[in-house]
Amino acid sequence: MNKPTHKIISILDNLLNKIKETENNLKNLKFELKYIPKIFSEQNLTKEERLEIAKYLYWIDVGIPKEEIAFNLLGINSVEFNKLLNTSFSDIKCKICLEPIIFKSKQSYKDYLKNLKMNYGGICNNCLEIQLKTHHIESEKQRKEYDISYQSNLNKLKSLPYSEYLQTSHWIEIRNKHLKRSNYKCQICNKNNKLNVHHRTYERRGEEDYNDLITLCEDCHNLFHNNKCI
């Protein structure tokens, strides 16, 4: 497509050039970042300071390969570096037990940050496990209470005389839903006036399936009853 010649296009060109320049600068900065361990290694640092900086570069995870950190700052390979990381860092305390949270790997630290986003963060693994277990127990308790309440209500609905059952809020809701799903038309003749929702079976009264019911106009409803259809 030909580029428009209007002068305002220069606004777009300038913006695109800035984006390209920024992307190139970012690429160059990331390339320079890989040499940070080498630059630090040329400074007059003690062994302890080198280890402290090496651990810091590892944990902040800014994209510097672990091998580069280990070799340039400490003169060791990544396997030996892993052994030094076993004790890990932890200036974070569990907000429940107040004990330090120990991260023995970068993955464990990432998991911690992930849990933080899920509102499980700020606590150690032991407290997290207890919290999740407590949540599971509470959920099971609520589920059982719901099941008991549901069964009690269902038994009550089943025991009501049919004429009274048809006056309950439960049936009115079921009836309205079925009318809506049948597009407010008789499912035999398609008439849309004087509609009734007829039970084809009473086996699941109180917890009817869609197929347990049928929407009928008054004439079709009478035919069903007169011919004892279901």
Q: Which domains, and CATH codes, for the chain?
A: 9-86 (no CATH), 90-140 (no CATH), 162-226 (3.40.1800)
Contact 121, 115 (CB under 8 A): yes
d(CA 159, CA 36): 79
d(CA 156, CA 177): 21
Question: Is the pTM of the predicted complex or chain greater than 0.75?
Answer: no
User: What are φ and ψ of residue 196, in 5° steps?
Assistant: -130, 150
What value does the mean pLDDT take over residues 166-193?
A: 93
d(CA 62, CA 178): 58
131 contacts: CB under 8 Å, gap ≥ 6: 96, 120, 123
Question: Rounded to an integer, what is the distance from CA 95 to the centroid of its chain?
Answer: 24
Q: pLDDT digits over 11-53, tens only?
A: 998 999 999 999 999 999 988 888 899 899 889 999 989 988 9
Q: pLDDT digits over 81-90, tens only?
A: 888 876 555 6
